[in-house]
């Protein structure tokens, strides 16, 4: 408007221009060629990630953003990823993004071994058992329990909050929804809402920060704009 001295309604954007709504009612306009270039960077970053970590399902949404372009506007990033997912250029499994040709699978024997472990993690609700406790409960070596859960976390079907502490996706979904209901998310308010100890509450909140669901400003954890916690229920 400043350059053309015309009202917004009379300014015609070039064909193919992508419009991204921003907070405050403003819009970000990007040429189609630039959008294609940004999408190519995302695909190249995923290909490099898979080559470097073939046993990992793929990075989570905001981890991938930090790899590709940490300074990018969050709503533009979400728009690019949504477009790639809709076109099938990338896939999502759990919280992990990956190229269609990339997969990390457990063998049939490993699936049988992890089934009772997953049941115990689900039963543990917001305070699941540690690796050593799972090993005692199921009569398995700690190293084997750790290996299986780490592999499962790499498939995107389980999340490691801190070393040797894994959460079932259903329970993380419940915690994420609880975060969204709190008027102000701090360690104390989250602790009181969940019934967890302060240390565990901080660990979970730091996990949400790390995967990009929230971001910490001072002592408050804010849900990122356009961030949504997806859980398939599988």
Name the nearest CA neighbour of 55 among 143, 154, 157.
154
CA 168/CA 129 separation, integer angstroms = 11
Q: What value does the mean pLDDT take over residues 186-208?
A: 95
Within this chain, do residues 143 and 184 fall inside the same structural domain, yes or no?
Answer: no
| Inter-residue contact 166 to 158 (CB < 8 Å) | yes
Answer yes or no: is 1 within a domain: no
The pLDDT-based confidence of 231 (bands split at 50, 70, 90) is: low
Determine the structural domain holding residue 61 and report its residue range. 10-98
CA 39/CA 127 separation, integer angstroms = 39
Answer yes or no: is 17 within a domain: yes
Q: What value does the mean pLDDT take over residues 135-149?
A: 95
CATH number at residue 80: 1.10.10.10
CA dihedral of residues 171, 176, 182, 184 (deg, nearest 10): 130
**Cα 188 vs. chain centroid, distance in angstroms?**
24
The pLDDT-based confidence of 35 (bands split at 50, 70, 90) is: very high
Of the residues 73, 98, 123, the one at which a domain ends: 98
The pLDDT-based confidence of 107 (bands split at 50, 70, 90) is: confident
Q: What value does the mean pLDDT take over residues 104-133?
A: 93
Instruction: Answer yes or no: is pLDDT of 102 > 60.
Output: yes
Using DSSP's 3-state secondary structure scheme, residue 18 falls into strand
Cβ neighbours around 191 below 10 Å, total: 18
Of 92-96, 98-102, 122-126, 218-222, which range is least confident? 92-96
Answer yes or no: is 231 within a domain: no
Within this chain, do residues 74 and 26 fall inside the same structural domain, yes or no?
Answer: yes
Within this chain, do residues 203 and 174 fall inside the same structural domain, yes or no?
Answer: yes
| Inter-residue contact 165 to 203 (CB < 8 Å) | yes
SS (H, E, C) 47-93: HHHHHHCCCCCCCEHHHHHHHHCCCCCHHHHHHHHHHHHHHCCCEEE
Within this chain, do residues 140 and 88 fall inside the same structural domain, yes or no?
Answer: no
Please tell me the predicted confidence (pLDDT) of residue 234: 42
């Amino acid at each position: 408007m400043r350059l053309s001295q015309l009202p917004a309604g009379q300014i015609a954007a070039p064909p193919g221009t992508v419009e991204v709504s921003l907070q405050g009612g403003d819009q970000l306009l990007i040429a189609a060629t630039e959008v294609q270039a940004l999408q190519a960077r995302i695909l190249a970053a995923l290909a490099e990630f898979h080559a470097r970590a073939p046993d990992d399902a793929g990075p989570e949404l905001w981890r991938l953003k930090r790899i590709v372009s940490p300074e990018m506007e969050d709503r533009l990033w979400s728009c690019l990823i949504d477009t790639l997912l809709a076109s099938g250029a990338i896939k999502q499994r759990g919280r992990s993004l990956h190229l269609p040709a990339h997969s990390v699978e457990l063998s049939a024997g490993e699936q049988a071994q992890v089934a009772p472990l997953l049941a115990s993690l689900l039963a543990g609700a917001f305070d699941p058992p540690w690796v050593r406790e799972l090993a005692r409960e199921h009569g398995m070596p700690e190293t084997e329990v750790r290996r299986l859960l780490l592999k499962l976390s790499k498939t995107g079907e389980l999340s490691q909050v801190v070393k040797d502490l894994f959460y079932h996706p259903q329970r993380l979904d419940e915690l994420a929804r609880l975060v969204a209901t709190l008027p102000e998310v701090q360690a104390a308010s989250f602790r009181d809402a969940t019934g967890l100890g302060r240390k565990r509450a901080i660990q979970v909140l730091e996990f949400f920060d790390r995967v990009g669901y929230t971001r910490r400003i001072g002592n408050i954890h804010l849900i990122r704009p356009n961030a949504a916690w997806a859980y398939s229920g599988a």
